[in-house]
Chain A
């Protein structure tokens, strides 16, 4: 897999979101604003990543791997922060922060796989 700017940006945003949310799990007994904002940032990154991927593809940069698999991951990943946000507004406890922390981890793994598919790398 080629480490590009998208991957680095996504990895940093996911890592910050996980750190903030884990910290909030320890220190807050309610869903933390910054943890929620960090998960929103992950969602914004995914939207930008998806639009950029569409532009790159339209501009003659084809996906080396399976196209449907790549877009399947994009579409699924877009739901992850939304589900965690819905969780956090319906469960006002400490543990919503742990659910928010799972977003960054999940999206990072999915982004890693998306980048692999984009470059046509085989599943490790």
Chain B
């Protein structure tokens, strides 16, 4: 809390970074609620799509916590979470077009996040760009 304001305002968690964390938080909550509801009520209808929804929810939760964290290693964890997210949305996006019968029910990442205005596709790109602009300071700075 005693960090000078100028230093804080250029940090990974400030400015656009705070907006990115907020959007990840919204996705973490909404995708967890939706995946939980889908799995509890109609898992049998589209097990693959709903299982992938649950994976997406876990990735969003980890990404939100890692992005917001000041702990050492959180930068690295953010990078891993965002890379998994980017690969996930691309692979699931391709699969949903290649195997439409398995993705008849909507999931967060199906059709490249179409149901969410393609935000799931754009978000990891913006997040990765932001992460590389705000690398973790080297130890003993």
Contact = CB atoms under 8 A, between A and B. Distances in A.
A93 B7 CA distance: 12
Interface residues of A, number: 9
For the residues of B in contact with A, the DSSP-based class is helix
Contacts of B16: 93-95, 98
Contacts of B14: 91, 93
A99 interface: yes
Nearest to B9: A93
B15 interface: yes
Nearest to A102: B19
Interface residues of B, number: 7
Contacts of B138: none
A56 interface: no
B70 interface: no
A92 interface: yes
B19 A99 contact: yes
A52 to B, nearest CB: 31
A93 B16 CA distance: 8
Interface string B71-109: 000000000000000000000000000000000000000
A94 B14 CA distance: 10
A92 B19 contact: no
Nearest to B13: A91
A94 B19 contact: no
A94 B15 CA distance: 7
A114 B67 CA distance: 35
B1 interface: no
B9 to A, nearest CB: 5
B99 to A, nearest CB: 32
B19 A98 contact: yes
A39 B116 CA distance: 27
B5 interface: yes
Nearest to B18: A91
Interface string A83-119: 0000100011111101100000000000000000000
21 contacts: A87-B18, A91-B9, A91-B14, A91-B15, A91-B18, A92-B5, A92-B9, A93-B9, A93-B14, A93-B15, A93-B16, A94-B15, A94-B16, A95-B15, A95-B16, A95-B18, A95-B19, A96-B15, A98-B16, A98-B19, A99-B19
Given A87-B18, A94-B15, A98-B16, 8 more contacts: A91-B14, A92-B9, A93-B9, A94-B16, A95-B16, A95-B19, A98-B19, A99-B19
